[in-house]
Structure 1
Amino acid sequence: MEGHKARSRSRNDRNSGTRALQRVFGVLAVTGLCAVSAPPAFASDGPASGGAKFGLAASTECVFNGNVIKSTPWSLQRVLLDQLWGQATGKGVTVAVIDTGVDGSNPQLSGAMAGAGKSFVDGAANKDIEGHGTRVAGIIAARPMKGTGFEGIAPDAKILSLRYTGGENKQGNTGTMAQAINYAVSQGAKIINISSDTASKEDNGPLRSAVAAAVQKGALIVAAAGNDGADGKSADTYPASYPGVLAVAASDRNDERAYFSQAGDFVDVAAPGVDMVSTVPKGGQCSADGTSFAAPYVAGVAALLKEKHPGWKASQIATRIEETAQRPSRGPNRYIGWGVIDPVAALSDDSTPGTSPTPDPVVKAGSGGVVPMAVTMGESEAERERRTAIYVLGTGLALVLVVAGSGVAVRDWRSRRDGRVGRVG
């Protein structure tokens, strides 16, 4: 797994069709001018001392202990759940959630907690002030409940809550995050979800060492890519960029990169990260956007694979997820990596995967094989403007022809009428 992210990346990626309005909205969200579901938690000691933050994009206001959402979220509608859960439900698998804590009082999480967990800041491990960790945990392992179509992608998995930040008197940083990773490994966790990145996108020695030790011990770390991608520029984020980490971008309903999702050669796969319904503290559900909620979607699928194939290494689970993703091209690109995750495809392939994904083979024209059609990252803004202009021009031309044709018809009718009147007189 050490060489998992050292492979070369395809440079033939295309623009993901980011909308101008979305760019503006993303800038507003990043600068704090738009409402967010919870305030981003920056380390109190700042980036110079290894600060960390978790990424939330703009969303509607959320009320803890509120109502549930009755309908089934689109992120679950895109999956044949009966077929998926006919193969695995995550039973017997524990996922460590390193976050702001998880409030197990939510009815959909009360049966999902693996003990009391541990806090590396003040307060109890399962106390969640911001609600971020409770959302993350719900996407992984929320239990089904009457009255709502939402449940976790691995509804029988267990959650080990490791609270590295979100304290009332102390906020965490990369130091407490590293401690949480080390503790997760000491507890035998094989899947670790981290929906956070370091402030100012800075590398950090202790965090890097903790990740490397976890990978060496066979743990699969699934990390969010970050939400600072509205400008489309590439940038490394941590811990997602470290070797052996499965870095997850956010995709939208069209299986394209969500406008806020951080781009970079480190991105491995994408998963739904827009309008993500999940559990909140004290009860109820809310929806929010962010790579923070794409990562646990992938961690849930990893839990399903771990149940079905307990002997697989972390690198094999990651490879299966990457190789069965809906690829944008032969290989990965910097926007959605190897593609948008396909949970059913990942669980349905029982062949033994390798330890790293490989690009699709090149099929030459005339070789007897099928040459796949090129797939773009979505319609660009320029292409959309040209298409709109063509529609407007075509509609205008049609109206001109209709008006002109109507004028000729009226003229001919009048001529015939006048002729008939002259002959009678």
Structure 2
Amino acid sequence: MRGLNVKGHSARSRSRAGKNTATRPLQRVFGVLAAAGISVVTALPAQPALADTGSSGGAGKGADFGLAASTECVFGGDVIKSTPWSLQRILLDQLWAQATGKGVTVAVIDTGVDASNPQLSGAMATGSKSYVGGSGTQDLEGHGTRVAGIIAARPIKGTGFEGIAPDAKIISYRYTGGEEKQGNSGTMSQAIRAAVAAGARIINISSDTANKKPDATLESAVSDAVNAGALIVAAAGNDGADGKSADTYPASYPGVLAVAASDRNDERAYFSQSGDFVDVAAPGVDMVSTVPKGGQCTADGTSFAAPYVAGVAALLKEKHPTWKAAQIATRIEETAQRTGRGPNRFIGWGVVDPVAALSDDSTPASSPTPDPVVKAGAGGAVPMAVTMGESEAERQRRTAIYVLGTGLALVLVVAGSGVAVRDWRGRRVGRAGR
């Protein structure tokens, strides 16, 4: 529908070579100081550009959907040799001994998936389609190719990165990201219906509507997909830096597994949208993945947390082919690393634990349940309360205050020293004139 903006959830995109972690804390501090009216002159590299501005970006005039192309990531560039942290946290041998996603097809509704990347060329199922011109295996923005890689990238020599479900298949529905036409809720709805008709039982959508309002056409398509037995995994959104709750769509629709982004500490990434609709969280910071024409780049966003969960869902679908969508979602939620008895608005039921999800072979219910209450003195341990900790913005403010305080102290020391030197010189001149 016209006037309904749709945006992808890539908060920041950058190349590995362009990253300078040593200077980033200083950049943030100086930014806060500058906002307070204090001028600081220094030579530091520029901060990475936002990959999703919510505007038309590189999408062209009149677009209802916009993803600004990364200014640092090189399509067709090099791969990253090391194993990303999001995979290092998993016992991959134990995980893949139970399932690899073989025989499972995941629909990626996005900007297209570039099948020329060597890690994806063998992962593509037949039937990919575009609703904005070109083909479903073309990706001008790079967003959909990243999403697909996190799900099902094949292993290749020279890199430690591969998909969570490295034997799953990808079918691409390009609903936006065209040169002449951009997508909206209408093309997204068409893509959802096509994915269901093609038999896809896991659908990844790493986009949301910018105005945060439900849309009848999209809601109907999602409802029909859920009723048909498909599990829709959707990104929660990247507008959560203020910590306020807000619904996003399609993630907030009933039956959709809504995914927030977590960081290396298993805490909510500062940009991840909060809300009661959030079901689970997954790694969404410094996410390595495939890009068009070959190579890899890193990026942040709930866009890349959602496919992490979609990959786990593909593993569960292979291992338990008779499980319904709600049962797969429940197993992911109930085995997540919780911070309390039940869900919260920041990370839902907790941060996804792929090995735990695959290791529990009991038949799940259709919805998760809170942990039982353990009474003190009843012979059981009482868990310690867990807080959410500082957000990135709070850490920046605290660091800025420390730097500002130290700076003021130095100014006072210098000023005091100047007064002392002036007085000492005055006394010497006075004695000399006697």
Same fold (TM over 0.5): yes
Q: Return the letter of the residue paired with 1:294.
A: A
Q: How many residues align?
A: 361
Q: Return the letter of the residue paired with 2:50.
A: V
- 1:159 correspondence with 2:170: yes
Residue aligning to 1:291 = 302
Q: Return the letter of the residue paired with 1:269.
A: V
1:45-82 CA-partner distances (Å, limit 9, x unpaired): 979xxx4567x9x9871000000000000000000000
Question: CA offset at residue 200 of structure 1?
Answer: 1.6
Preserved contact between residue 65 and residue 282 of structure 1 (Cα < 8 Å): yes
Residue aligning to 2:227 = 216
Preserved contact between residue 60 and residue 180 of structure 2 (Cα < 8 Å): no
- 1:255 correspondence with 2:266: yes
Question: CA offset at residue 202 of structure 1?
Answer: 2.0
Counterpart of 2:236 (choices 225, 228, 250) is 225
Within 1, Cα distance between the matches of 2:390 and 2:53? Answer: 33
Within 1, Cα distance between the matches of 2:126 and 2:120? Answer: 12
Q: Return the letter of the residue paired with 2:164.
A: I
Residue aligning to 1:315 = 326
Residue aligning to 1:62 = 73
Q: Percent identity?
A: 78
Assess, with a 3 A threshold, how the Cα gap between structure 1 residues 172 and 45 changes in structure 2: closer, same or farther.
farther
Q: Return the letter of the residue paired with 2:177.
A: G
Within 2, Cα distance between the matches of 1:21 and 1:135? Answer: 27
Preserved contact between residue 37 and residue 62 of structure 1 (Cα < 8 Å): no
Q: Return the letter of the residue paired with 2:207.
A: S
- Structure 2 gaps, min length 5: 1-24, 36-46, 406-434
Question: CA offset at residue 377 of structure 1?
Answer: 1.2
**Corresponding residue SS for 1:283:** coil
- Give the TM-score, by structure 2 length: 0.78
Within 2, Cα distance between the matches of 1:149 and 1:46? Answer: 40
Residue aligning to 1:351 = 362
**Corresponding residue SS for 1:292:** coil
Residue aligning to 2:372 = 361
Within 2, Cα distance between the matches of 1:233 and 1:176? Answer: 30
Within 2, Cα distance between the matches of 1:172 and 1:208? Answer: 16
1:108-154 CA-partner distances (Å, limit 9, x unpaired): 00000001401111111111000000000000000000000000000
Assess, with a 3 A threshold, how the Cα gap between structure 1 residues 95 and 202 changes in structure 2: closer, same or farther.
same
**Corresponding residue SS for 2:288:** strand
Residue aligning to 2:10 = none
Within 2, Cα distance between the matches of 1:352 and 1:37? Answer: 41
Residue aligning to 2:209 = 198
1:229-280 CA-partner distances (Å, limit 9, x unpaired): 1111110000000000000000000000001000110000000000000000
Assess, with a 3 A threshold, how the Cα gap between structure 1 residues 38 and 148 changes in structure 2: closer, same or farther.
farther
Within 2, Cα distance between the matches of 1:277 and 1:121? Answer: 27
Higher mean alpha-carbon deviation, 345-354 vs 370-379, is at: 370-379
- Give the TM-score, by structure 1 length: 0.79
Q: Return the letter of the residue paired with 1:279.
A: T
Q: Return the letter of the residue paired with 2:273.
A: Q
Preserved contact between residue 278 and residue 287 of structure 1 (Cα < 8 Å): yes
Residue aligning to 2:142 = 131
**1:16-415 mapped onto 2 (5 Å cutoff):** 35-37=49-51, 42=56, 51-52=64-65, 61-379=72-390, 381=394
**Corresponding residue SS for 1:69:** coil
Assess, with a 3 A threshold, how the Cα gap between structure 1 residues 46 and 251 changes in structure 2: closer, same or farther.
farther
Q: Return the letter of the residue paired with 1:128.
A: D
Assess, with a 3 A threshold, how the Cα gap between structure 1 residues 235 and 39 changes in structure 2: closer, same or farther.
closer
Preserved contact between residue 59 and residue 287 of structure 1 (Cα < 8 Å): no
Question: CA offset at residue 376 of structure 1?
Answer: 1.5
Within 2, Cα distance between the matches of 1:354 and 1:44? Answer: 46
Within 2, Cα distance between the matches of 1:195 and 1:369? Answer: 42
**Corresponding residue SS for 1:291:** coil
Within 1, Cα distance between the matches of 2:65 and 2:215? Answer: 10
Within 2, Cα distance between the matches of 1:385 and 1:34? Answer: 22
Q: Return the letter of the residue paired with 2:327.
A: Q
**Corresponding residue SS for 2:204:** strand
**Corresponding residue SS for 2:305:** helix
Within 2, Cα distance between the matches of 1:233 and 1:21? Answer: 22
Within 1, Cα distance between the matches of 2:61 and 2:320? Answer: 42
Preserved contact between residue 222 and residue 299 of structure 1 (Cα < 8 Å): yes
Question: CA offset at residue 201 of structure 1?
Answer: 1.4
**Corresponding residue SS for 1:153:** coil
Preserved contact between residue 282 and residue 309 of structure 2 (Cα < 8 Å): yes
Q: Return the letter of the residue paired with 2:216.
A: G
Question: CA offset at residue 375 of structure 1?
Answer: 1.5
